[in-house]
Structure 1
Amino acid sequence: MLDYAFIELLESLTRDEIRSLRKFIVSPYFNKSAKVVKLFDIIIKYHPNFESPKLAKEELHKKITPELPYNELTMRRLLYDLQQLVSKFIRQQYIERKDAESALFTIEELAVRGSERMHAITIREAEKIMGSAQMIDADACLNNFKLETEKFYFGMINDKITKKSFVDTEAGKLIKGITYFISYFMLEAIKHNDTLLNYSRSFNIQRNKKFISQFLNLFDFQRLEIFMKSHAMAGSEIVRAYINSLKAYLYFENDEFYTELKESVVNHLDQFSQTDKHFLFSKLSGYCILKRDQLPPDAMKYERELFELYKILLENKYYTTEASKFMPVDLYRNILIQSVKMKELRWLEDFIEDYGRELHPARKADILNFSYAYLNFARGNFNDSLSWLSRIRMEEFSYHLDIRSLYIMIYFELEEYESALAAVKAFKKYLNENTMVSEDKKTSYENLCKFVTKLVNYQGSNSKTDISSLAVQLKKCRNITSRSWLTEKVEHFERSIRKAV
């Protein structure tokens, strides 16, 4: 197999893109080497997998220059040249796809060359492109900032100042540009600090949380919001939605801020980019998850709200972004778990069938194995569940804890109590040694281990006092995973005792 970085790029290309790439490589403007063209034609025959012994460098050399002995340096140079061409093609594709950015590059170059008339024409073209946008996102804010400031500074250098009104008009361009930049900063700051916070929580990195807290303390977001309202412009709704997402989490105890966030999102979806829809729905669902975990176990308000949000998200494909069309593995996992909590098992089966195919190909097989293991467990098909689990070979960190938990519960259901206790012991050791598991998450899984151990011990005593005490302890325990399953087991034993009396 050919171990070059550009092969991964070739794998991602469609047939139409491959045809365009060949035209690009054949063009004498970009490439003057017939050998590079020949090399490309040989390699691309093995699209999309590129797995063949015929792709060894020695074999490629024989086909390109059969009359010459193998030369490692020559092959490296040809492969490097091809890699550079593929990279340039991808860059060209990006420029052609991004009309606004392409216009800004042209405007900048025309300004350097002092071409006033072409500069003015391209400015008007850029204004038309940006004005026709159906939505304003962070990229659009940044592009508008660049456009307005370019108009101001080019005019300052090249235009004569004859009237005060002219000065006011020109200053207005700069003010508009600054306002766009503030919008860009707010959108990006809120989004990336949120991403950093979630990343830090997932992998238990405390110093990042301190950075986020210090950063947020630098700003008075309420005053920024008032400023944005007083300088209203296209795209203010997305800024308002982002600020509402921040306020919902800052003032977490007040549900009114969640309501404001939800209204600012669902009422203006047609104005938001796909990436912003993805982010804002993740904020809505994330809020519900945090709220759910703080409420009593039998409080279902946010459980139902979360499940309905997931349905909307799936129906409209808000899980995709401009950067990725795949279903995020953490989101997929959360939907899996939530549907079991809501006892929507038929819906879950359809979800796995419809959206399992949306997972990244490199992760799909093992996550589907876990999905069917989880579904079969929920249906009481414990041997089938164990069979699906045994097929998993992945190293996906976010699923390790789920897999170990499921093994423990399956062993208990199959009355293989020694295996269950052995799995508990191994899991506790794993939790103690793994520093990437947050303390909160570690506690929730340790509590599962503790209660499973108590349930196993109950099998030997069948004491009414023991099971009653266990029921009380479980109700008081606020941080525990698989609560519904544990509650079901305890209630089953309580019913058995009542029948025996």
Structure 2
Amino acid sequence: MENSRLAALLQTLDRKEQRELRKFIASPYFNQRQDVADLFEVLVKCINDNQPLPGKEETHRLLYGPGEVFDDHKVRMAMSFLLKLAEQYLVQRAFFEDSLAVKTKLAAIYRQRNLPRHFERTMREAQEGHRQQQFRNAGFHARTHRMLTEQFRFNLTQRRMVDYNLQAITDHLDVAYFAQKLRQTCTLLSHQAVYKKEYDFGLLQAVLRHIEEQNLTAHPAIAVYYYCYQSLVQPDDPAYFHQLKNLLVTEGDKFPPDEISDLYLLAINYCIRQYNKGGHGFLADEFDLYKEGLKKGYLLSNGTLSRFTYRNAVTVGLALKEFDWVEIFLREFKSKLEKGQQQSMYSFNLARLEFERQHFGSALQLLQKTTFDDILLDLAARALILKIFYEMDAHDALESHLDAMQRFIRRKEVISYHGEHYLNLAQFTRRLMEAQFDKKALEALKADIEKTEAVAERNWLLRQVPVNH
């Protein structure tokens, strides 16, 4: 039972959803089996009380009484029925949350049942709600196409001599398709860059020609992905990226949260790639995107900020020496992190800030009084302590720390890939300490740091090597 699909699904429900599903199960239209309703109560009680879920034999006893002979098939059928009901509930709940989709579907039903007054009133309500909604993405144009198509079909059935608005139906269909095509193309290109896989882009070139000839970038739904696409295929022409960045700032509220979040991440990743190629000016653009995305909530998911975004925003702020902004950001967004990550992520990143401010004592204190449950975060904290001891010329403490760090990495086999980066950091730091007054040794060390692929804190190490020793 613990590992069943049913248990996994029920464990995702909050209390409100549990109450709604209970009513759903109690409706004779959806369910007429008492054992299914009883099974729901048994499982939900265990989940809410943080108790282990019963096995099949115990479940059988609870549902059918101790006098009944155990019947595995009977329990499995009850579980199957309950799973189907839970799935029906979730689908119905999701559908009815989209009131415009409901009204459009209802209008179609009225048309099919030849109820013109009902159709016209429902369609008016749907169109009014549609006009008032803020988003203007591909979904908006696809919905407009569906509504206009439904109106066209209704007018045909009523034999009305009216302008059927066929051009608008076609135009909205085109905009929806072109926007979706470009969005998918950007996804493919991003995936291709990481996994080196080739894709067939189908009608893309014809789509691009039509967009340019008809000036369809006037539609935000198309424009953001057109400039995103051009940024990906022509990365050395920053004009496309700056068009994209401007659109994200001015038109960002016209896209739903998951879509605008993806667009911001695409733009941020462009900045990272350009920075890594030597375009240091893009660091300021990346910082602008983080500030705007955080201020407007685009980089949050359901009100929660990922620890990766939290840490990356700090990295950019520190690189630009925007220390005051970083300090405020760390404090204001700490509560937006997942509960179990708040204190460790806050302390670690505040220590990074204190290190950059050269407040080495307070940085060390923050790291030493915090427990890091995440192994990779623990490694990063150990690397920061290494840097602090080095900057403080605390050689004895650094030697001891390097020994402990290397033992820790070798003991944790699960981090072998990441461990290599930190083992190399430790080894290069030892060589750096030993070669302080040896020009040839320093030159060899610099060359080794540059050519070794797996090195944590590479830039910091290179800065420690005297240039004109």
Query: Shorter-chain TM-score: which interval?
Result: 0.7 to 0.9
CA distance in 1, matches of 2:176, 2:378: 41
User: CA 1:376/1:318 → structure 2, altered by over 3 Å: closer, same or farther?
Assistant: same
User: Is the aligned partner of 1:311 residue 2:291?
Assistant: yes
Mapping 1:99-178, distance limit 5 Å: 99-113=99-113, 115-156=115-156, 158-160=157-159, 166=162, 169-170=163-164, 172-173=165-166, 175-178=167-170
Mapping 1:10-409, distance limit 5 Å: 10-48=10-48, 51-53=50-52, 55-69=54-68, 70-113=70-113, 115-156=115-156, 158-160=157-159, 166=162, 169-170=163-164, 172-173=165-166, 175-201=167-193, 204-207=194-197, 210-211=198-199, 214=201, 218-219=205-206, 221=208, 223-229=210-216, 236-295=219-278, 299=280, 301-320=281-300, 325-328=303-306, 330-343=308-321, 351=329, 355=333, 358-359=336-337, 365=341, 369=344, 372-373=347-348, 375-376=350-351, 379=355, 380=360, 381=363, 385=367, 391-393=373-375
C-alpha deviation, 1:127, in angstroms: 1.7
C-alpha deviation, 1:258, in angstroms: 2.9
Asked whether the equivalents of residues 182 and 222 of structure 2 are also in contact (C-alpha less than 8 Å), the reply is no
Q: What letter corresponds to residue 194 of structure 1 in structure 2?
A: C
Asked whether the equivalents of residues 107 and 119 of structure 1 are also in contact (C-alpha less than 8 Å), the reply is yes
CA distance in 2, matches of 1:403, 1:53: 32
CA distance in 1, matches of 2:432, 2:169: 70
Residue among 434, 456, 465 paired with 2:430 = 456
Asked whether the equivalents of residues 294 and 300 of structure 2 are also in contact (C-alpha less than 8 Å), the reply is no
CA distance in 1, matches of 2:233, 2:209: 12
C-alpha deviation, 1:177, in angstroms: 2.3
Q: What letter corresponds to residue 272 of structure 1 in structure 2?
A: F
User: CA 1:375/1:486 → structure 2, altered by over 3 Å: closer, same or farther?
Assistant: farther
CA distance in 2, matches of 1:325, 1:417: 39
C-alpha deviation, 1:484, in angstroms: 4.3
C-alpha deviation, 1:318, in angstroms: 0.7
User: CA 1:310/1:87 → structure 2, altered by over 3 Å: closer, same or farther?
Assistant: same
CA distance in 2, matches of 1:17, 1:45: 14
Q: Deviations over 1:173-224 (max 9, x none)?
A: 3x222222222223323333333443454xx4111xx217x45853452640
C-alpha deviation, 1:110, in angstroms: 4.2
CA distance in 1, matches of 2:442, 2:241: 38
C-alpha deviation, 1:97, in angstroms: 0.5
- SS of equivalent to 1:68: coil
CA distance in 2, matches of 1:259, 1:373: 33
Q: Deviations over 1:348-395 (max 9, x none)?
A: 56655654554567xx54x975664565466355697488686335xx
TM-score, structure 1 as length reference = 0.73
C-alpha deviation, 1:84, in angstroms: 1.4
Q: Deviations over 1:130-189 (max 9, x none)?
A: 122122222222211222223334544x25476xxx4xx22x33x222222222223323
CA distance in 1, matches of 2:335, 2:203: 39
CA distance in 1, matches of 2:76, 2:337: 35
Asked whether the equivalents of residues 446 and 462 of structure 2 are also in contact (C-alpha less than 8 Å), the reply is no
CA distance in 2, matches of 1:37, 1:261: 53
User: CA 1:9/1:475 → structure 2, altered by over 3 Å: closer, same or farther?
Assistant: closer
CA distance in 2, matches of 1:307, 1:73: 59
CA distance in 1, matches of 2:135, 2:314: 32
User: CA 1:92/1:128 → structure 2, altered by over 3 Å: closer, same or farther?
Assistant: same
| Identical counterparts, % of pairs | 18
C-alpha deviation, 1:17, in angstroms: 2.8
Q: Provide structure 1 residue ranges, at least 5 long, that are not aligned to the other structure.
A: 394-399, 438-444
User: CA 1:475/1:264 → structure 2, altered by over 3 Å: closer, same or farther?
Assistant: farther
Asked whether the equivalents of residues 26 and 37 of structure 1 are also in contact (C-alpha less than 8 Å), the reply is yes
Q: What letter corresponds to residue 123 of structure 2 in structure 1?
A: I
CA RMSD of aligned residues (A): 4.3
Asked whether the equivalents of residues 336 and 371 of structure 1 are also in contact (C-alpha less than 8 Å), the reply is no
CA distance in 1, matches of 2:380, 2:43: 46
CA distance in 2, matches of 1:458, 1:486: 8
Asked whether the equivalents of residues 35 and 78 of structure 1 are also in contact (C-alpha less than 8 Å), the reply is yes
CA distance in 1, matches of 2:449, 2:244: 32
TM-score, structure 2 as length reference = 0.77
Asked whether the equivalents of residues 274 and 318 of structure 1 are also in contact (C-alpha less than 8 Å), the reply is yes
User: CA 1:285/1:7 → structure 2, altered by over 3 Å: closer, same or farther?
Assistant: same
Asked which structure has the greater RCO (Cα within 8 Å, sep 6+), the reply is: 1
CA distance in 2, matches of 1:467, 1:159: 90
CA distance in 2, matches of 1:275, 1:57: 40
Q: What letter corresponds to residue 335 of structure 1 in structure 2?
A: A
Mapping 1:2-17, distance limit 5 Å: 2-17=2-17
CA distance in 2, matches of 1:72, 1:424: 49
CA distance in 2, matches of 1:119, 1:86: 32
User: CA 1:14/1:84 → structure 2, altered by over 3 Å: closer, same or farther?
Assistant: same
Q: Provide structure 2 residue ranges, at least 5 long, that are not aligned to the other structure.
A: 391-397
- SS of equivalent to 2:399: coil
C-alpha deviation, 1:275, in angstroms: 2.9
CA distance in 2, matches of 1:358, 1:35: 42
Q: What letter corresponds to residue 280 of structure 1 in structure 2?
A: L
C-alpha deviation, 1:94, in angstroms: 1.0
User: CA 1:43/1:118 → structure 2, altered by over 3 Å: closer, same or farther?
Assistant: same
Asked whether the equivalents of residues 260 and 298 of structure 2 are also in contact (C-alpha less than 8 Å), the reply is yes
Between 1:456-465 and 1:371-380, the stretch displaced more is 371-380
User: CA 1:328/1:83 → structure 2, altered by over 3 Å: closer, same or farther?
Assistant: same
User: CA 1:410/1:217 → structure 2, altered by over 3 Å: closer, same or farther?
Assistant: farther
User: CA 1:14/1:346 → structure 2, altered by over 3 Å: closer, same or farther?
Assistant: farther
Asked whether the equivalents of residues 249 and 287 of structure 1 are also in contact (C-alpha less than 8 Å), the reply is yes
CA distance in 1, matches of 2:401, 2:52: 50
CA distance in 2, matches of 1:144, 1:29: 34
Between 1:77-86 and 1:238-247, the stretch displaced more is 238-247
